[in-house]
Amino acid sequence: MKLAARETIDSFVKVVFRTTGLLVIVILGGIFVMLMWNTIAFFAHIKPLDFITGTQWNPAGSHASYGIMPLMVSTGIVTLGSMMIAIPLGIGTAAFMSEYANSRLRNILKPMVEMLAAIPSVAIGFLGIVIVGPEIAKLTHQANGLNALNGAILLAIMALPTIITVTEDALQALPATYREASYSVGANRWQTLRKVIIPAAAPGIIAAVMLGVGRAIGETMTVLMATGNASAFPKGFFHSVRTITATIAIEMGEVPYQTTHYYALFAIAAVLFLITLLVNLAGEYFVNRYRKYQAA
Amino acid sequence: MNEAIIKLSAQGVNLWFGNKHVLKNVTVTFPEKQVTALIGPSGCGKSTLLRCFNRMHDLSPDARIEGKMMLETQDLYDKKISVTEVRKRVGMVFQKANPFPKSIYENINYGLKINDIPSKERPAIIERALKESYLWEEVKDELKKPATRMSGGQQQRLCIARTVALRPEVILMDEPCSALDPISTRKVEELIVQLKEQYTIVIVTHNMQQAQRVADKTIFMYLGEVVEEGKTDDIFNHPQKELTKNYVSGHFG
């Protein structure tokens, strides 16, 4: 009797876990199908070539145009800028934690870096409006500082924890014998770091950068708050830009259901999805490469 | 043997890792252009002593060293001498072959670059170092090959080549053959015997036969102390102390 009850519970639990597991796959698949379905519907209205090469995103006018170029370039500028800040800072911090800091300092720094990842994006966006924006405006003598540079600075802050953590793991994963070998021929720490440690950890560092890029491309709230969202074709770091993510966030709330504009937003979301997917796959590929290498 | 010049010495060296007293008042000498073997059971401090001579313990923050380590008349722990100079003069070969993840050529070139040897002189030095470690014939056509694809024995000889390329005065070897097969071991041992014509060599080994084959002098350590030192032949065949006799005849260790 008791035994039968236990077996019933066991098979019940099995069903529950199988359901939760499958549910995740169903949700992911559902999102993908919905994106693709609506994207196909969009291409029934607009030629793919016009979508890809069009230099104007103006869905509201009587001559509506759906060129993704300005949005892609905006996302590109902001991401590139953020990486130009985050990569040197992140690798530097990771190198300091792994190679220079003593274990006590490292034990303080590591959780703090991880905590940086826990700051809500809206709080960082707020920082952009009240601190970074006004400072940029003052330095560049502009009316306001809501531009690509502002977004890049904030995204750099948000991508830093990922870059630091993954890079530090990659550096720590290297066998101590590399360091000993380098020191034993008379190299100092900097020479060892630059000529032995960083080249050997390169796959891991590339993975860190890729994951950081993925984080920056997909981020919405901070860029929405900090970059000004002008829909004109972006001209540079000191101009307002409107990223793919911000465009979707701004326009989705007001768009009439099942219009070309509505489908267009799905199409740009699908493009975003593809970009982040590729970047993350590249990141995973390099992560696995350094894991394999570590095992060897 | 008696007239040999003392190249390297430790005078009253004590070393602690945290609270653990690892080396206890160690006083030893290493004669110039001879091979000296450090033997003793695992954990007796022989590798720790070896690593004192090129200041590898500088890297572990909880290590504390007292006493004098001298290279001829130079105090190795003198504040005025740079640690990189110490390591250039006192080279080291590790237990596990640890080539850099670079090409064979770059593995040796790295140390030359670090020590500011002009790039014009480097190819000749690299060739000479590979010849001295009897690796040249085996690798001369594939210097661009990653060092990690060589066999274990070749990797260890490359590490020796990397060390001799810098023309150190002393070469420290920490169980250099423990990860090698018998044939590679023989090659490395032959190499050690050749190298002593030019270098003072200190070798840590667990292998009694190896000590007898390569070493002129042998030092037996136990629990962080030097028990007995002398000519290899005396240590193995006419030990003065009971402990030494028991160890070399394989009763413990």
| Tens-digit pLDDT profile for residues A173-210 | 888 889 999 999 989 999 999 999 998 898 889 999 99
* Contact at CB, B56 and A180, closer than 8 angstroms: yes
| Residue B161 pLDDT greater than 70, yes or no | yes
Chain A residues near residue B114 by CB distance under 8 angstroms:
185-187, 191, 195
Question: Chain B contacts of A180, Cβ < 8 Å?
Answer: 56, 59, 92, 94, 98
Residues A21, A78, single domain; the answer is no
Distance CA A161, CA A142 (A): 31
CB nearest to B100's CB, from A181, A183, A188: A181
pLDDT of residue A296: 42
Question: Angle, nearest 10°, between helix axes A202-218 and A148-173?
Answer: 150
Q: Do B54 and A184 touch (CB under 8 A)?
A: yes
Residue A172 and residue A119 share a domain: yes
pLDDT of residue A292: 56
Residue among B87, B96, B102 whose CB faces A185 most closely:
B87
Q: What is the Cα–Cα distance from A213 to B142, expressed in whole angstroms?
A: 39
Same domain, yes or no: A106 and A19: no
Shortest distance, CA B49 to any CA of chain A (angstroms):
15
Task: Using the predicted structure, report yes or no on whether residue A1 has a pLDDT greater than 80.
Answer: no
Which of B84, B96, B99 minimises the CB distance to A186?
Answer: B84
Segment B115-130 mean pLDDT: 93
> Where in the sequence is the domain holding A69, given as residue range(s)?
53-295
Q: Are A62 and A99 found together in one domain?
A: yes
Whether residue A186 sits in one domain with residue A91? yes
- Res. A295 pLDDT band, cuts 50 70 90: very low
What is the complex's ipTM, to 2 decimals? 0.87
**Pair (A12, A72) in one structural domain:** no
List chain B residues with CB under 8 Å of A183. Answer: 56, 59, 87
Cα distances (angstroms) measured from residue A231 to each of A58, A149, A264: 8, 16, 15
What is this structure's pTM?
0.81
Dihedral sign, Cα of residue A123, residue A126, residue A130, residue A134: positive
Which tokens in the block code for residue A213?
């890029």
pLDDT tens digits along B105-116: 999 999 999 999
Mutate to test the interface with B, among A99, A183, A184, A194 (most CBs of B within 10 A): A184
- Give the pLDDT band (50/70/90) at residue A137: very high
Residues of B in contact with A182 (CB under 8 A): 100, 110
For the CA atoms of B63, B69, B71, B74, what is the dihedral angle to 10 degrees? 100
Please tell me whether residues A71 and A217 are part of one structural domain.
Answer: yes
**More confident call, B203 vs B248:** B203
* Amino acid A29: pLDDT: 93
Do A196 and B159 count as a contact with CB atoms less than 8 A apart? no
Query: Are both A287 and A200 inside the same structural domain?
Result: yes
- Clarify whether residues A25 and A62 are in a common domain: no
Query: A181 and B114 in contact by Cβ < 8 A?
Result: no
pLDDT class of B43 with cuts at 50, 70, 90: confident
DSSP bridge partners of A65: A58
Q: Reduced to 3 states, what is the DSSP secondary structure of residue A1?
A: coil
Q: Residues for chain A: how many in total?
A: 296
The dihedrals phi and psi of B70, each to the nearest 5 degrees, come to -120, 135
> Is B159 close to A186, i.e. CB distance below 8 A?
no
Asked whether residue A113 falls in the same domain as residue A260, the answer is yes
Residue A91 is part of a domain; what is its CATH number? 1.10.3720.10
Task: Decide the pairing of beta strands B6-17 and B63-71.
Answer: antiparallel
Query: Same structural domain for residues A36 and A58?
Result: no
Query: What is the DSSP code (8-state) at residue A237?
Result: T
Tens of pLDDT along B237-252?
Answer: 999 999 999 998 887 7
Provide the domain count of chain A. 2
Q: How far is CA A275 from CA A57, A72, A85, A209, B177, in A?
A: 19, 10, 21, 15, 51
pLDDT given for residue A77 in this prediction: 95
Burial class (CB in 10 A: 0-12, 13-18, 19+), B198: middle
Residues A39 and A79 occupy one common structural domain:
no
